[in-house]
Amino acid sequence: MDLRDQWNRLLPHAQPLGDDLLARYAEQHRHYHDQRHLTELLQTIDELADLADDADTVRLAAWFHDAIYDPQAEPGENEEVSAQLAELELSAYGVDAARVAEIGRLIRLTAKHDCDPEDANGAVLCDADLRILSLAADRYDEYAAGIRQEYAHIDDRDFARGRMTFLQGLAETSLYATSRGHEQWEQPARENLQRELKQWAPKAARPIAGLIPMIYLGAALGVVVAASVLLGRGLGAAARWPASPDEVNGYPVWAPIAGTAVAAGLTCAWFRRTRPRLVTIPAIIFAVVGLAAIGICWWQWPAAQPGAAMSERWPYLMLASVALLLAGVLLALARRLRLAPPYALAPPRALSVGVTVVCASLLAWVVVSAGEPFVQARLETANTVSTTATMPPAVGPVQLDGSVAWSREVPATGAIAGTAGGVAELRSDGVVMSDATTGQIRWRYSRADVDQAAARGSQGLLVSSDGRTLAAHLPYDGNHAPRGIDLPTYAVLDAESGRVLTEVHTDGTALAVDANQLLVAEDRYVVAHGVSRPTHWRAQVKCAVTQGVLLGDQAVVVDACGGDSAIVRGLDVADGDQRWEANLGVKFELSAELDPSTWIGELVAIPDTREVSGLIWTGAAGGTLHQWSVDAGAGRILWTTPVPGTPRPRLGKSACDAQLAATHASLVLVTCRTSSEPGEDPMYDVAAASPADGTPQWHHLLPVPPKLEQPEFPRDGFGLLPDGRVITLMPQDDGSCSPVMIGTTGIQPRPLVAGPTAASIAETKSVTCDKPAVTVASGRPIFSDGSRLFALN
């Protein structure tokens, strides 16, 4: 290849400029960056020309990339002045400004060769400049010898150190940016690099033993920085939860700044002074202060108190104290090793500083990261009160004669739910389980750092189909939550004994629970958290998941998108793989104007079958609520049927939360009905259908006073008895509040009958219908009016 011909082809009107460049590449101090290098560079560009956006622009950049080459210049300086020369000369010869700018950019890329594969021109130039690394061994050796000659002004030791650093930096990155270069040249280049590294290693390496004190020093400095970060977290936290705004100080940024400054001072004292004994005094101070701080934290560690939760302050302060003690020990060890003869020979300064910085950064990250699980465990232990029951729940006859079996005052509850262990009350800070027969409290689970658990009402409690497993939603105040700590948001409990099966942190909504897993919806993901076994999987579906149930070996979920899609899916509970899907959109005209959470109702599994039933609202005929059922074994829709009447056209929080419940023989629905005339009392629609085909069994309209027209009342205020009848609390004409039975025989009030004691007489008269909630436990109706919990015989 004749270089002058190559230049004339590129810029025939700039022959003097080409001659000047050739003269530059022929300078006496060049032993590698010469005309031969330029020739090889242009030949490689020819090979890669089809990969460039503008090959001639790349060729011009190649001509100028080493036009100015001074081995004693600072890194990147040669490339910068060469780019400036190109921009000046080419502009003078009338080259287009955009092309000149691109040439300057390409030249500057060769300083570090950090080319993006998407940058076609840059990738070609960088690969061509590094092509020498992949050539035959004899040519590579000539290149290496030429580089050494160009840097003859540097002594052998310093050159070896710098050369090894350069080669190691290359070896740790991808050398070639183009696909062709990566495939064809990467492996030969790495072989050449490793061969040269072995050549330099014996000359450049210093005794490795001298790095051992550096490792201990770096560890000590990292722990000092970590201690300052932990101290800041502790000082910035309130002493207890809940806390008023003036008790939360905010994170004191001076703590990590001070810790980093101390670490930097120790580093300077180590490397700039000839006597490492100067670190002895700080080592002693760290150890003494850390030991004293551990004692103070132990002495001041707060005891658990009702109504006040321990915050992260004391766990973080304890960690900071332990870290400070550890820093003192590590610093003393580093000083001792540095004075020992086997480790006395210091490695190169740069290597020592690098090892120290790396070890310090690593230890700081490890200590701070390891501190968060420690704090989380301490908070969970200190703020959780959990009792268990050893005796099984009592068993007594249920006569349903209206007499009060037991009654007691309770704090305001968020929900009640019948379980195999009795009646569970969701309170603001946890769960209380009472015996359904006697009313005695069997076990408690509460968290002092939770005070909003009751806010979600009945949606805050999930009970498994067999009643033996209970999941409670325990949200905590995110504004006061410790940064980096994932406290549990769901507690899964054994309903009979109260034993904690697992605690789960999730930002999603729990759908269902059983003894094996907790099923959670996180937008378009379904997540299973193991309970009694380490099952954990995460499955993505098409749309946002709204409802789900666990059915033996399957998780049946519904995901819906803005009215145009509603799919029922069966997922394997072992791994989340989809077994089947059924498209509800084939059966219904879906309502695109509503959010899926409002037009997809809850799911219910028919006991002892493979059937799952649900609700869906459509825009047909002005708004129609439908029931549907699928066979989870075959993965097909069994039947669909409209609900009689005109129930309200929403199922979400803004209107009416319908309740769907099932026995072996009946599928019972409680929902709202829009008043047809102004001034009419609201009506609730209570109906039963056959689970087999949706055939109506009975249907009643229940007038309710306006104060009970609450979105959550159909879901919370009605209970399903084992015989298929529905029971609720309802105000009567005489001003009393009594249970009402709804079933095949109609709507039948059952006035409360006082028990044999004076207390039960007074309790009967004090029952109100202000905030009724109903559940069934052990076949016995359990009622709550917001301040009193009572059960019928």
pLDDT more than 70, % of the chain: 85
Average model confidence (pLDDT) across the chain: 83
What class, spelled out in words, does domain 404-792 have in CATH?
Answer: mainly beta
CB 29 within 8 A of CB 152: no
- Least confident segment among 218-222, 366-370, 574-578, 645-649: 645-649
DSSP state, residue 682: P
- Comparing 363 with 645, the larger pLDDT belongs to 363
- Residue recorded with tokens 């309130």: 238
pLDDT of residue 645: 67
Q: What is the Cα–Cα distance from 731 to 445, expressed in whole angstroms?
A: 34
* CA of residue 227 relative to chain centroid, distance: 26
Taking CA atoms, 223 is separated from 259, 295, 428, 483, 778, in Å, by 9, 19, 40, 20, 58
Give the tokens for residue 541: 């579906």
Q: Is the peptide bond before 242 cis (omega within 30 degrees of 0)?
A: yes
pLDDT in tens, 746-786: 888 887 776 665 456 656 666 677 778 889 888 888 888 77
Q: What is the mean pLDDT of residues 496-525?
A: 91
pLDDT in tens, 630-689: 998 888 999 988 887 656 555 544 467 788 999 888 999 988 876 555 556 667 889 999
Q: What is the Cα–Cα distance from 729 to 708, expressed in whole angstroms?
A: 10
Secondary structure element (H or E) that encloses residue 559, with its range: strand 554-561
Q: What is the Cα–Cα distance from 561 to 577, expressed in whole angstroms?
A: 21
Q: Identify the CA nearest to 669 among candidates 611, 602, 735, 581.
A: 602
- Least confident segment among 23-27, 120-124, 412-416, 499-503: 412-416
Q: For the purposes of burial, counting CB atoms within 10 Å of the CB of 348, is it exposed (0-12), middle (13-18) or buried (19 or more)? A: middle
CB 253 within 8 A of CB 228: no
Dihedral class, residue 785 (left if φ above 0, else alpha if ψ from -120 to 50, else beta) = alpha
Q: Enumerate the H helices of 521-626 as residue ranges.
A: 596-599
Query: What is the radius of gyration, based on Cα positions, of the chain?
Result: 39
Q: What is the 3-state secondary structure (H, E, C) of 746-763?
A: EEEECCCECCCCHHHHHH
- Comparing 311 with 580, the larger pLDDT belongs to 580
pLDDT in tens, 91-131: 988 889 999 999 999 999 988 888 888 888 989 999 999 99
In 3-state terms, what secondary structure has residue 636?
Answer: strand
- Comparing 422 with 276, the larger pLDDT belongs to 422
Yes or no: domain 3-204 corresponds to CATH 1.10.3470: no
pLDDT in tens, 173-202: 788 889 898 889 988 988 888 788 777 754
Cβ neighbors of 775 (< 8 A, separation 6 or more) are: 416, 417, 418, 423, 719, 781, 782
- Comparing 365 with 163, the larger pLDDT belongs to 365
**φ, ψ dihedrals at 261, nearest 5°:** -65, -40
- Residue recorded with tokens 């008269």: 765
